[in-house]
Amino acid sequence: MDELNRLRSEIDAIDEAIMALLEKRFNISEQVGTLKKKNTLEVSHPGREQAILSKAASFNHKKSIEAVYETIFKQSKQIQK
């Protein structure tokens, strides 16, 4: 049980780091949205999204990482609108 608690503690620390980074990413997405509106640019940028997704190819959990990023992209677009 000690091992389980240790692993859960590691996950908790990672989750806190992920959440802090997501908050930072979404704050930057707001700024990007402002610039896109100012310059009358489309919110969606499929080429950029694909470039980011292609980076997942080198990871063992590629499909899971891609699924998470699809959600991140969706939320970022909502923030930019």
| 45: nearest Cα among 59, 22, 57, 53 | 53
Exposed/middle/buried for residue 80 (C-beta within 10 Å: 0-12, 13-18, 19+): buried
pLDDT of residue 1: 85
* pLDDT digit string, tens, across residues 1-25: 899 999 999 999 999 999 999 999 9
* pLDDT digit string, tens, across residues 48-61: 999 999 999 999 99
Share in percent of the chain as helix, strand, coil (round to 5): 85, 0, 15
pLDDT of residue 29: 97
Query: Does an H or E element contain 7, and which?
Result: helix 2-38
All structural domains of the chain: 2-80 (1.20.59.10)
